Amino acid sequence: MKELFPIKHVMGFVFSLILTSVALLVYILDMSFALGLTILLITAFAQAALQLVVFMHAGESEDKGAIYTSVYYGIIIAVLTVFGTLLAMIWGYV
């Protein structure tokens, strides 16, 4: 019975619903901009990771290495771009 019931996927689905409702709270509840954005950022990244691992089977094929390398590479580039832009356009702008 245990093999037949896709417990991992059901749990994943429930968890992604929870993440969505937490993100929705930002709109419903009255909170500060900073807090709202922090919640959105965290839930968004958790959601993306969840989808990638559970529903897109990132770690289940022989290409595991290539897939995770490209994901990490993408994250590094994105972080460098965003923070570099903030640095050049806002923080370091005189």
Partner 1 sequence: MDFFERFMIPHPSPAIYAAMVAIVLTSIAIVVGLTYFKKWGYLWREWITTVDHKKIGIMYLISALLMLFRGGVDALMMRAQTAVPENALLDAQHYNEIFTTHGIVMIIFMAMAFIIALMNFVIPLQIGARDVAFPRLNAVSFWLYFMGAMLFNLSFVIGGSPSSGWTSYFPLAGDELSPSVGTNYYMLALQISGLGTLITGINFIVTILKMRAPGMTLMKMPMFTWSGLITNVIIVFAFPVLTVALAMGTMDRLFATNFFTTTDGGMDMLWANLFWVWGHPEVYILILPAFGIYSEVISTFSRRNLYGYNSMVASMVIISLLSFVVWVHHFFTMGQGAMVNSIFSITTMAIAIPTGIKIFNWLLTMWKGKIQFTVPMLYSLGFIPIFTIGGVTGVMLGMSAADYQYHNTMFLVAHFHLVIIPGVVFAMIAGLTYWWPKMFGFMLNERIGRWAFGFIAGGTCLAFFPMFISGLDGQARRMYTYSESTGFGFWNMLSFIGALGLAVGFILIVYNIYYSTRYASRDIGDDPWNARSLEWATHNPVPEYNFAITPQVNSSQAFWDSKKNGHTLFKGGYKEIHMPNNSGVPFVMSVFFFIFGFAFVFSMWITAVVSLIGIFACMLHRSFEKDHGHHISVAEIERTESELRGARNE
Q: Which residues bind partner 1 (CB under 8 A)?
A: 63, 66, 70, 73-74, 76-77, 80-81, 84-85, 87-89, 92-94
Residue 5 to residue 37: CA distance in whole angstroms: 37
**CB-nearer residue toward partner 1: 24 or 82:** 82
Q: Shortest distance, CB of residue 63 to partner 1, whole angstroms?
A: 7
**CB-nearer residue toward partner 1: 21 or 81:** 81
Q: Shortest distance, CB of residue 58 to partner 1, whole angstroms?
A: 15
Q: Shortest distance, CB of residue 82 to partner 1, whole angstroms?
A: 10
- CA end-to-end distance (rounded Å), the chain: 65
**CB-nearer residue toward partner 1: 3 or 62:** 62
Specify whether the CB–CB gap between 51 and 16 falls below 8 A.
Answer: yes
Give, as one character, the DSSP assignment of residue 88.
I
Tokens 């559970």: give the residue.
54
Residue 78 Cα distances to 19, 61, 82, angstroms: 22, 25, 6
